[in-house]
């Protein structure tokens, strides 16, 4: 087979690392610079969630049943990768600065991690119920743009674990500019997102940046768990923001 460009091998690596979707038969994956493609994988995951929503809606499922199904589907598609980071980070934050990393490394789930998990899922549930028919588009935007958050964290904060398994992300990271292709994709696809308020995309990007900045400062740096946590937290706040902006669509459309 012909040799593949480096970017394509990184994309295949990102596909494998960030999702449970079937691996590509070609080319051979590379994993060093997969972080730049995380928002693209998020775009695919959000699209699959939107497809599930439309499919089950067509089968007559009520919204109250659709919301937990698409949330569970999204978590399954990621293999729980970011959810695990959220829970461990919750335990670390509760343990305080001196014992933060130790608590995050502990394989046991603490009460603080469980509380944060429940809080995040409940807020996402509430936001999706509020968004109603705008849910499919909101899922795509939130899933893609939430993954800008770890790119900001990689650019801004040192990696805290000397031998951490996720340290390669920051080692090979080349700045927030790697998120630009995702933003261009969403801008070009804006006609498909006409259900959402015009300012949704820039506001959501700002939300992702602020979440990463806040957590990086609280932890004094970043870990692999932190990267996962900022994705989950950013998704939550993005969905909540779009739920708050949703009335603007109704009033604008008359």
Query: Closest by alpha carbon to 70, among 239, 251, 241, 249?
Result: 239
Res. 209: pLDDT tops 70: yes
- pLDDT over 70 (residue 191): no
> What pairs with residue 145 in β-bridges?
none
Query: Which band of pLDDT confidence, cut at 50, 70 and 90, is reported for residue 196?
Result: low
pLDDT at 215 over 60: yes
159 bridge partner residues: 222
CA atoms of 185 and 100, how far apart (whole Å): 38
77-98 pLDDT per residue, tens: 999 999 999 999 999 999 888 8
Q: What own/partner pairs with CB < 8 Å and gap ≥ 24 does 213-220 have?
A: 213/152, 213/156, 215/89, 215/153, 216/153, 216/156, 216/157, 218/93, 219/89, 219/92, 219/93, 219/100, 219/157, 219/160, 220/97, 220/160
Q: Is the pLDDT of residue 19 over 70?
A: yes
H/E element, 111: helix 111-131
Cβ-based neighbours of 165, under 8 Å, separated by 6 or more = 224
The fraction of the chain above a pLDDT of 70, given in percent, is: 87
Average pLDDT, the chain: 87
Dump pLDDT digits (tens) for 113-123.
Answer: 999 999 999 99
pLDDT at 143: 94
């Amino acid at each position: 087979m012909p040799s593949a460009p480096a970017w394509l091998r990184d994309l295949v690596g990102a596909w494998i690392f960030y999702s449970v979707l079937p691996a590509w038969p070609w080319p051979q994956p590379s994993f060093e610079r997969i972080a730049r493609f995380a928002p693209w994988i998020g775009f695919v995951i959000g699209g699959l969630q939107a497809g599930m929503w439309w499919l089950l809606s067509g089968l007559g499922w009520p919204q109250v049943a659709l919301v937990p199904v698409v949330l569970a589907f999204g978590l399954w598609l990621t293999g729980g990768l970011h959810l695990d980071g959220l829970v461990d980070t919750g335990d670390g934050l509760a343990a305080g600065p001196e014992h933060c990393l130790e608590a995050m490394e502990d394989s046991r789930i603490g009460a603080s991690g469980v509380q944060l998990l429940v809080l995040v899922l409940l807020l996402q549930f509430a936001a999706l119920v509020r968004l109603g028919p705008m849910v499919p588009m909101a899922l795509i935007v939130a899933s893609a743009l939430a993954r800008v958050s770890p790119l900001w964290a990689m650019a801004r904060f040192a990696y805290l674990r000397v031998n951490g398994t996720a340290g390669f992300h920051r080692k090979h990271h080349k700045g927030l500019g790697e998120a630009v292709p995702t933003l261009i994709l969403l801008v070009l696809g804006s006609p498909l997102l006409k259900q959402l308020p015009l300012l949704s995309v820039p506001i959501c990007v700002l939300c992702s940046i602020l979440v990463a900045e806040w957590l990086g400062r609280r932890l004094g740096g970043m870990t692999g768990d932190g990267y996962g946590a900022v994705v989950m937290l950013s998704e939550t706040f993005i969905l909540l923001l779009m739920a708050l902006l949703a009335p603007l669509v109704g009033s604008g459309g008359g």
